[in-house]
Amino acid sequence: MTLAPSPAGLENVVVANTALSAIDGGVGRLSYAGYDIDDVVERATFEEVFFLLLRGELPTTDELADFSGQLAAQRPLSRPELALVHALPQDGHGMDALRTLLSALMQREPEVALTVEHAERIGLLAAAKLPTLITAWHRLRIGLEPVAPNPQLGHAANILWMLHGKLPTPAAERAMNSYMVLLAEHGLNASTFAARVAIGAQADVGGALVAAVATLKGLVHGGANQKAMETFLEIGSADRAATYVDGLINRHERLMGVGHRIYKVEDPRVRHLRARVAELAETGQGAQWQAVADAVAEVIANHPHFTRRQLAPNVEFYSAPLLYALGFPLDLFTCAFALSRVAGWTAHIREQIADNRLIRPKAEYIGPAPRKN
């Protein structure tokens, strides 16, 4: 008997239960543990969202202070951890550096039984250390000394502080926090699925996080933000947007940052990123790239190639000018994504451990019929 083939890419196949986020792609709605993303992004810090994903409730004042304190205590690098950064090659892509640094960091962790408590501890460690590690690596490769984390700053502000060595403006801090909140969790995306597959095989938590980082680099996943910005840089000015997009379509090439497997309307995170990009432009950060992105978005909204296919800007579209305005080099764009999504990865790993089973789908054989040599 031949089995009916599963949808390509397991599209719309339910393989797990989750209490972390709900997505309605038809109307463009996203919620975290029951809280609509529109409310969360305007009122919560990344630390509060991370706590929400782990515990299912927003923290009280005391709980937030304790949780934030745990992150702050683990941000500084020890001498061996700083030595890891110095030993890493200073060339190559930022995501390769992040993956290697995370793997080396996890090698220092003893192997223990898979428990939700252990997953939370490792997730907090990764969330705290990765920004310090990757910003230190970047600064060393451009000839600057690493900047130690500032205990007076929150998580989002600390990333910008350690990247640039100066206090971020209020607009920059708000933009970075909004980005972190919006990217923290998004269901069973490719990198999250990779993490759950690793845990299903009873790999260690660190290995699951490394698998997630490796998957996130993919050009049709987290790597799209860098490619979107490269497109905007190539366009250069708003008046060239329509001609450039027509050229892409005629060459049958893909416009990165457009379209989504789930959303058939605009990604609900886009409007908040667009607003943060506009706020940065008002302070003189990235106005040129806001104009280019807006011009491309207008072309997309009116061009039959996109409207017929229900293709709209996704989260990477305005992530690109936002991260560029905040001073991230192109090859750290996807690293910024990882620094946020580690919250969702950790929460999904906890869920997988709580009801763990080997994830082993089938493949339908379509090769030659039985034959003899």
Q: Decide if 367 is inside a domain.
A: no
Q: 226: helix, coil or strand?
A: helix
Note the pTM of the prediction, 2 decimals: 0.94
Which pLDDT band, with edges at 50, 70 and 90, does 8 fall under?
low
**Taking a C-beta distance cutoff of 8 angstroms, is the pair 149, 135 a contact?**
no
- Per-residue pLDDT at 308 exceeds 80: yes
Alpha helices for the chain (secondary structure H)? 37-43, 46-55, 61-74, 79-87, 94-107, 116-141, 155-164, 170-183, 190-200, 205-216, 224-235, 241-250, 270-282, 287-302, 304-307, 315-325, 333-354
Q: What local confidence, expressed as pLDDT, does residue 1 receive?
A: 43
**Low-confidence winner among 8-22, 43-57, 79-93, 212-226 (lowest mean pLDDT):** 8-22
Tell me the residue range of the domain where 243 lies: 19-360
In a domain, 368, yes or no: no
Burial of residue 334, with CB atoms counted within 10 A of its CB: 0-12 exposed, 13-18 middle, 19 or more buried: buried
The whole-angstrom separation of Cα 198 and Cα 213 is: 12
Question: Looking at the domain assignment, is residue 13 inside a domain?
Answer: no
pLDDT band at 3 (very low <50, low <70, confident <90, very high): low
CA nearest to 270, candidates 38, 93, 101: 38
Could you tell me which residue, 153 or 258, shows the higher pLDDT?
153
CATH for 166: 1.10.580.10
What are 24-80's pLDDT values in tens digits?
A: 988 889 999 999 999 999 999 999 999 999 999 999 999 999 999 999 999 999 999
Residue with tokens 């110095």: 86
Instruction: Please tell me what DSSP assigns to residue 269.
Output: T
Residue 261 binned pLDDT confidence (cut-offs 50, 70, 90): confident
Domain presence at residue 128: yes
Is 226 inside a domain boundary? yes
Residue written as token pair 């970075």 = 176
229, 324 contact by CB (below 8 A): yes
> What's the confidence (pLDDT) of residue 181?
98
In a domain? residue 281 = yes
Task: Tell me the sheet residues that pair with 21.
Answer: 32
pLDDT for res 265:
80
- Cα Rg, the chain, nearest whole Å: 21
Mean residue pLDDT of the chain comes to 93
pLDDT mean over 201-226:
94
Domains contained in the chain, number: 1
State residue 126's pLDDT score: 98
Sign of CA dihedral 234, 239, 243, 248: positive
Whether residue 12 is contained in a domain is answered as no
Q: Does the pLDDT at position 155 exceed 80?
A: yes
107-148 confidence digits (pLDDT tens): 988 888 899 999 999 999 999 999 999 999 999 999 999 999
Residues 264-277 have pLDDT tens digits of 788 899 999 999 99
Q: Is residue 9 in a domain?
A: no
Measure the CA–CA gap between 256 and 229, rounded to whole angstroms. 9
> In the structure encoding, which two tokens stand for residue 201, read together?
């095989």
